[in-house]
Amino acid sequence: MQSRYFTIHAHPEGTPERDLFELETAELPALAEGEVRVRNTWLSVDPYMRGRMTGVTTYIAPFTLGAPLEGAAIGEVIESRAEAFPTGTKVRHMGGWRDVAQLPAEGCERLPAFDVPEQAYLGVLGMPGMTAWAGLNRIAEMKQGDNVLVSGAAGAVGSLAVQLAKARGGTVVGIAGSQDKLDWLEAHGVKAVSYKGRDAAQLTAALNEACPEGFDVYYENVGGVCLEAALNTLRVGARIAVCGLITGYNEATPSPGPSNLAMVLIRRARMEGFIVFDHWAHYPTFLEEVGPQVVTGRLDHEETVEDGLERTPDAFLKLFEGANRGKMLVRL
């Protein structure tokens, strides 16, 4: 059996071009003992993948040039030499960016049993949902009634963070760009503030208007002007959970840090970065809390879907244009 997959043969500088990604085909070897072959049905593309294209090891190893790219995927086992994963088992794994994946069985996990569409385990009940939950609960230690600010508030992680925060009371403000994202936030009871065309001072004024009391929690997805403005609006003892800094992912040279970092001292704030995989042992707790909310529809989750393996690079690049609302997925 053959597998079609995407690879890159060079490290991009700045925003990747579409022709960086090459679709290739390889004949799969016979299954070894303990391996499974999975036909993928859904692929995830995520901003962190841009860092893996640099050739530099950060909290995760870089992609290998010429080898299949990797990412979270959902699929069905079509051939197995692993007793725990018989043919027909639906699994989640990291053999994405391809139509058929072959991997050791220990690299797969059965999908949980909630009555939700399978792609939910790449979004609201997958890494983005777990990231939103872990950042608010384990890093920012959000309390009932806290005022919460979220940047990238209509993206895969931010759209869940604002809803989880809203359920705890207090004022929740989301920073977003396009009008449809701002409208989505307002429809979900979140005060929406646009960053478009605003410098840090202007964005600070808009945030102060939305929540004059200031924020106890800032959930950071973006960096840049959003971070600078957020620092100006902290309450004493505020907690900042740094999930991502997407505004700088494609910069050829590092941008200067916020000019008002002293606000962390002045407001006696705590700022902590985190990687969701370090908290994955708490995934069952997250599922127990959030899974029923998804099943009943209490927690809304948005998806932006591209169809066909060939569209995977396009879906990935759209992340940096802000073209997605909620989770960006590729349906095979």
CA angle 72, 78, 79 (to 5 degrees): 110
CA angle 220, 226, 228 (to 5 degrees): 100
Residue 191: CB atoms within 10 Å? 19
CB burial of residue 224 (10 Å; 0-12, 13-18, 19+)? middle
Spatial distance between the Cα atoms of 179 and 32, rounded to a whole number of angstroms: 52
pLDDT of residue 236: 98
pLDDT average, residue stretch 101-116: 96
Q: What DSSP state is assigned to residue 139?
A: I
For residue 29, give the 3-state DSSP assignment. coil
List the one residue out of 310, 146, 157 whose CA is nearest residue 220: 157
pLDDT average, residue stretch 67-83: 97
pLDDT average, residue stretch 70-83: 98
Both ends of the chain: CA-CA distance in Å?
Answer: 17
Q: How long, in residues, is the chain?
A: 332
pLDDT of residue 170: 87
Tokens of 172: 């929740």
CB burial of residue 240 (10 Å; 0-12, 13-18, 19+)? buried
Spatial distance between the Cα atoms of 141 and 171, rounded to a whole number of angstroms: 16
Q: What DSSP state is assigned to residue 271?
A: E
Q: Indicate whether 62 pLDDT > 90.
A: yes
Q: Indicate whether 200 pLDDT > 90.
A: yes
Tell how strand 191-194 and strand 172-176 pair up. Answer: parallel
Contact 42, 329 (CB under 8 A): yes
Quick one: angle between helices 127-134 and 158-166, nearest 10? 50
pLDDT of residue 322: 85
Spatial distance between the Cα atoms of 84 and 110, rounded to a whole number of angstroms: 9
Contact 293, 269 (CB under 8 A): no
Q: Indicate whether 307 pLDDT > 90.
A: yes
Residue 251: CB atoms within 10 Å? 12
pLDDT of residue 188: 94
pLDDT of residue 247: 85
pLDDT tens digits, 231-265: 999 999 999 999 999 888 887 777 788 999 999 99
pLDDT of residue 146: 97
Quick one: angle between helices 283-296 and 127-134, nearest 10? 110
Question: Residue written as tokens 């777990």?
Answer: 130
